[in-house]
Structure 1
Amino acid sequence: MLTHLTLINFALADHLVLDIEQGFNVLTGETGAGKSLLLDALSACLGERTDTNYVRYGAEKADITASFSYQPQSPESYWLKEHELDDDTGEIHLRRVIFATGRSKAWINGRPSSLSELKELGRLLVQLYSQHSQQQLLEPPYPKHWLDRYRNFYQPAQEVKEAYQNWQATIRQHQSALDAQATRLQRIQTLELQLEELEEIVQTDYKETEQEFDRLSHHEHIMQDCAYSLNALDEAEPSINQELASILRRIETHSGRSEQLSEIYNSIVNAQSELDDATSNLRQFMDRQSFDPERMEELNTHLEVFHRLARKYRIQPEELKQEYDNWQLELEKLHQLEDPETLAEQVEIAHGIFLEKAQHLDQIRRDASIPLAKQLTEQVKPLALPEAHFEFKFEPLEQPNAEGLSFIQLLFTANKGMPPQPLARVASGGELSRIALVMQVMNAEKTEAETLVFDEIDVGISGGTAEVVGRLLADLAQHVQLLCITHQPQVAAQSDQHLLVKKQQTDPASSTIIELDEQQRVLELARMSGGVEINDTTLQHAKQLRQLKFQHS
């Protein structure tokens, strides 16, 4: 649930702090006062795209913070734990800073976060419905998506999509096998010859061969330098080891007189131990070395083969082994494609799985559509559409797709005795707005988000219809937190908290949002009902609207 919102240098807001209550909250104000302030700020905190217009004129940056409370076993609590962002306070703090340069930064509970993380968490916290949502009703996929969302058919719909994709993938594999049939044998023969040519040489490691050949090529110099080093370390008079022993005896005499000398003594002891090990290892190395001209010739032959084949296949010598493995893999795949009939069987199996899942989805959609259309009809009728009637129409697709087997239309009629027609063809603008509103409220009842924002979705309604809408939203607010921007006094009168947006003629201009008490609410409802001039009639009407709220509750 949204609890606090802080806006600093955001658009028309200089420094604005809001406490949002549970239940039904409305935001009203005169045209141009800045009612979209809160909505835009909240959207920014939820990871939506912003621009420099959000930064208040003359400021370097805009700073917005939204705070939410949440329950321990809620989806957002699991999300926070998964991302190691829970702090056991039961609160979520989202912060977004927008710079005048166009950059922005985001934080979740004080930790820098990406916009994708903000969006991901935001979808769990807030669901937004706007006045433009009625246009979605006219989009062909909307009835199907609305049906799936309301009845929670996401999982079977996703299974159908995955089964369809798998079926299409097997079709492509089968077609590839058929296409490759003509050139497959020739390619197999080429690969087998190439593999045979590389088979022996790739058993040898190129880098190890090159290193051993280099060592034998410099055998004489290596032995000379090693002999010199061993003589200096242990055989000369005096040797380095003898000199070091003498140094140790001298330092040891005084090591007890100084802590620093004691540390130096220990360091030299360690160095002596290292030199002793090195001397022993050097002697062993020299004892094991021998010059083998036949081995050197063998290595040279291997290297010549490596370089010849590398030139032939236009790669580096050390890459021959990887190329050999790639050819092996390609050859195995070509052998798997040897029988297109096997792949044809896989296509049939995948098609059968898809059809089974698609038929199940189609059936549960059909079963759910009848009571859902009836429920939608009953919800719409009170909104000045007493003869409204809805039906879902299922038309089989010529070719099944990832969405299922049928094209789903929502049919509507507003007149008794008239057959229902596709919604886009027969519904007027006012009817569309009312239908969209009801469908959004019905969807909102199913959402997991605890905060729902309605942005002027009551445009196009008035009078008794607006009163019904207000009650509809008030009933919904018994279960979730609502934040509604409205121009309708009948809707605003049903709210639990009334926030008023006022523009102040400061320099530069600014907007503020204040919470209204009961007396102020009546005055604002009167203004919304009767315009600038508030008289006894509009005041009385405003009081009656508030009384309806208390009677309804």
Structure 2
Amino acid sequence: MLTHLTLINFALAEHLAIDIDKGFNVLTGETGAGKSLLLDALSACLGERTDTNYVRYGSDKADVTASFSYQDSSPEALWLKEHELDDESREIHLRRVIFATGRSKAWINGRPSSLSELKEIGRLLVQLYSQHSQQQLLEPPYPRRWIDLYSNFYAPAQDVRQAYNAWQKSIRQHQAALDAQATRKQRIDTLELQLEELSDVVQIDYQEIEQEFDRLSHHEAIMQDCVYSLNGLDEAEQNINQEIGSIIRRLESHAGRSELLAQIHTSLLNAQSEIEDATSSLRHFMDRQSFDPERMEELNASLEIFHRLARKYRTQPELLKQEFETWQAELEQLHQLEDPETLAEQVNLSHEAFLAAAQHLDQIRREAAIPLAKQLTDQVKQLALPEAFFEFKFEALDEPSSEGLSNIQLLFTANKGMPAQPLAKVASGGELSRIALVMQVMNAEKTEAEVLVFDEIDVGISGGTAEIVGRLLGDLGQHVQILCITHQAQVAAQADQHLLVQKRQTDPASSTIYELDEDLRIQELARMTGGVEISETTLQHARQLRQLKFQHA
């Protein structure tokens, strides 16, 4: 339940703090006073889009907070627990700060949150109905959605969508197998030939044989340089090993006299050890080397094969093994392709599963449509449409869809003896607004949200019809919290709490909202019915409207 709203520098509100009661709450005020202020602020807290117009003139930011109470087992309680945002207070605080630069920030129970998170929790808390909702009635999917929502057919409708998607997926898989079947045999033959041609070559390491061939090609130069190096290191009359040994002996006698000379002596000892190891390795390398013309010819032949195949398959010689592995994997996949006949059977099975789910959904929709149309007829008749009649028309679709087997139309007539026709063809604007109002109230009875917001949905009605609308909302307010903007005194008179919005000509202008006591409620109802000049007659009428509220209760 919405318990409190705080608005700071939000549009016309400089600083407002409003407590909201349970039950049926109305907001009234003169045109331009800012009646939508609370709803705009609430929408901002629920993650809806905002703009810089919400920031009060002369301010750098607007700050709004909405507080809600909740029960332990409610959907919002589970959501908070899942997101680790619950606390012992059993309260939800949604805060939104909108900056004059256009960006905004959001918090849930004091923790920075994203707008998507605000929207998630907002959908669990509040359901909004606007005066433009009647346009939804004219959209083709609306009757189907309305039946599903009111009759709680979400689960079977979801089953149908999933079964339809599974059926379509199996059709695509079958078609892909058929397409692949046409070229599969030819591609398998090609891959097998390619793999056979490379099977021996990929057993050889190209880089190793290329390096060995290069070494044999430069054998004479390598040996000449090795002999020269070995001579300089160890075999010449004045070689490096002898010279470094002499240097080490000369420094050794002075190592104890200087720490730095000791370090140099140690480094030279290490270098001597490294040079001796290198000399030994060089001798070992030279002993193992021999020039083999036959081996060189063999390597050259292998390299020619690599280069020929690389040109043939338009790749680099060292990448032939990678190509071989790629072809091998493709061949395995082609061998594992499902048989089109097996997939065709899967298409049939998934189609049967879809038809079973869709037929069940179609049947329960048809069964629910009859009493639902009667209930809608009875409710609308009260709104100055005594001859109203509704029925749902089911027409089989040419092709089944993810929404079922039938197109559903809402048919209506307001005149006795006239056949019901599609709503969009025969309903006037006034009739449409009343029908939309009843359908929204009926839907609201089924929603899980604990707060319902009605934004001037009573436009186009007056008199006794408005009084009945007020009673409908008042009855609904016994089960959920309602926040309603209205211009109708008959609707406002039925409310449990009456909030008045007034504009003050400060600089800049500002709006204030406050709760009315019973005497002030009579004054406001009189203004709504009688205009600027309030007479005793309008006051008496206002008192009578309030008495009707208590008599109905």
Query: For residue 19 of structure 2, what is the amino acid of its counterpart?
Result: D
What's the CA shift string for 1:177-209, capped at 9, x where partnerless? 222333222222334445556778889999999
What's the counterpart of residue 219 of structure 2? none
Equivalents in 1 of 2:430, 2:65: separation in Å?
37
Query: Looking at CA atoms only, which structure, 1 or 2, has the larger radius of gyration?
Result: 2
The equivalent residue for 1:503 is 503
Q: 1:71 to 1:304 in 2, by over 3 A?
A: farther
Alpha-carbon deviation of 1:420?
0.9
1:104 aligns with 2:113: no
2:439 pairs with 1:423? no
Go from structure 1 to structure 2 and tell me whether the alpha carbon gap of 1:465 and 1:356 turns closer, same or farther (over 3 Å shift).
Answer: same
1:508 deviates by: 1.0
In the alignment, structure 1 residue 160 sits paired with structure 2 residue 160: yes
- CA separation in 2, counterparts of 1:319 and 1:112? 52
In 1, the alpha carbon distance for the partners of 2:114 and 2:60 equals: 21
Please give the residue correspondences for 1:237-256 in structure 2 after superposition, counting only pairs within 5 Å. none
- Other structure's SS at 1:512 match: strand
For residues 378 and 186 of structure 1, do their structure 2 counterparts lie closer, same or farther at Cα, with a shift above 3 Å needed?
A: same
SS at match of 1:511: strand
Calculate the aligned-residue CA RMSD, in Å.
Answer: 4.1
User: What one-letter code is carried by the residue in structure 1 that aligns with 2:21?
Assistant: E
Counterparts of 2:16 and 2:156, CA distance in 1: 46
Question: SS state of the match for residue 57, structure 1?
Answer: coil
Confirm whether residue 480 of structure 1 aligns to residue 480 of structure 2. Answer: yes
For residues 410 and 443 of structure 1, the distance between their equivalents in structure 2, rounded to whole angstroms, comes to 16
Per the TM alignment, residue 64 of structure 1 is displaced from its structure 2 partner at its CA by 1.1
Structure 1 pair 514/347, CA: closer, same or farther in 2 (3 Å)? same
Q: Return 384-393 or 303-312, whichever deviates more.
A: 303-312
In structure 2, distance between residues paired with 1:200 and 1:20: 84
Q: Which amino acid aligns with 1:379?
A: Q
CA shift in 2, pair 1:527/1:327, >3 Å: farther
**Distance in 2, Cα, partners of 1:436 & 1:350:** 39
The gaps in structure 2 that reach 5 residues or longer are 211-225, 227-247, 250-254, 260-276, 291-295
**Runs ≥4 residues deviating over 6 A:** 197-210, 290-294, 297-325
Counterpart of 1:76 in structure 2 is 76
- Are 1:530 and 2:530 matched, yes or no? yes
Deviation at 1:88, TM superposition (A): 2.6
Q: What is the distance in 1 between the residues matched to 2:19 and 2:319?
A: 66
The one-character-per-residue Cα deviations of 1:481-523 (angstroms, maximum 9, x if unpaired) are 0000100000011111111111111111111111111111111
Task: Write the distance in 1 (CA, Å) between the matches of 2:316 and 2:90.
Answer: 60
Q: Where does residue 367 of structure 1 map in the other structure?
A: 367
Residues 519 and 174 of structure 1: CA distance in aligned 2, closer, same or farther (over 3 Å): same
> 1:227-256 CA distances to partner (integer Å, 9 max, x unpaired)?
xxxxxxxxx99xxxxx9xxx9xxxxxxxxx
How many residue pairs end up in the alignment? 504
**Aligned AA for 2:461?**
I
Distance 1:410 1:515 in 2: 41
Q: 2 CA distance for matches of 1:36 and 1:318?
A: 73
Deviation at 1:333, TM superposition (A): 4.2
Residue range with higher mean Cα deviation, 167-176 or 517-526 = 167-176
Per-residue deviation, residues 354-384 of structure 1 (Å, max 9, x unmatched): 1111111100101111111111111111111
1:440 aligned residue: 440
Give the match for residue 514 of structure 1: 514
Q: Secondary structure at the match of 2:453?
A: strand
Which residue pairs with 1:134 in the alignment? 134
| Distance (whole Å) between structure 1 residues aligned to residue 205 and residue 393 of structure 2 | 69
Residue of structure 1 equivalent to 2:124? 124
Tell me how far apart the structure 2 counterparts of residues 486 and 318 of structure 1 sit (CA, whole Å): 80
Matches of 2:301 and 2:449, distance apart in 1: 73
Alpha-carbon shift at residue 547 of structure 1 (Å): 0.8
Mapping of residues 448-463 of structure 1, within 5 Å:
448-463=448-463
Question: What SS does structure 2 have at the residue aligned with 1:452?
Answer: strand
TM-score, length of structure 2 as denominator length: 0.80
Bigger mean CA deviation after superposition, 369-378 or 325-334: 325-334
Identity across matched positions, percent: 79
Aligned match of 2:382: 382
Distance 2:144 2:485 in 1: 28
Distance in 1 of aligned mates of 2:308 and 2:365: 67
Residues 446 and 203 of structure 1: CA distance in aligned 2, closer, same or farther (over 3 Å):
farther
Distance, in Å, in 2 between the alignment partners of 1:176 and 1:151 is 40
Return 5+ residue gaps in structure 1 as ranges: 211-220, 222-235, 238-242, 248-282
Q: 1:32 to 1:325 in 2, by over 3 A?
A: farther
Structure 2 Cα separation of the partners of residues 551 and 14 of structure 1? 40
TM-score, normalisation: structure 1: 0.80
SS at structure 1 position matched to 2:478: coil
